[in-house]
Amino acid sequence: ETGVTQSPTHLIKTRGQQVTLRCSSQSGHNTVSWYQQALGQGPQFIFQYYREEENGRGNFPPRFSGLQFPNYSSELNVNALELDDSALYLCASSLAPTGAQGTQYFGPGTRLTVL
């Protein structure tokens, strides 16, 4: 069974640019959630996708957007990058959005640095 994978591992961008981060969910998982983890902080929930539809969103501006594809892999897009967007971005997948099957399995993360 393949776990959650994310690409790229590291990324450096400049302020104002756009970035796309990718996540492949664990086999059989139809739900993907994205988190932002600043250095020394706990993860902050960005949004969740279930069967290609957004299924919950945290307190992030619209320049944070996402997609989920028919194979349940997912992308996180961030436009107009700001310095404060520098963080570790975590993806987590689960068998279902909630309930006993809602247990999330995390990927290793993408470290984004905005200069």
**13 vs 58, beta carbon nearer other proteins:** 58
The nearest distance, CB 74 to other proteins, in angstroms, is 15
Q: Is residue 18 within 8 Å of residue 114, measured between CB atoms?
A: no
**79 vs 98, beta carbon nearer other proteins:** 98
**75 vs 108, beta carbon nearer other proteins:** 108
- Identity of the amino acid at 43: P
The nearest distance, CB 69 to other proteins, in angstroms, is 19
Beta bridge partners of 35: 45, 90
Q: Is residue 44 within 8 Å of residue 35, measured between CB atoms?
A: yes
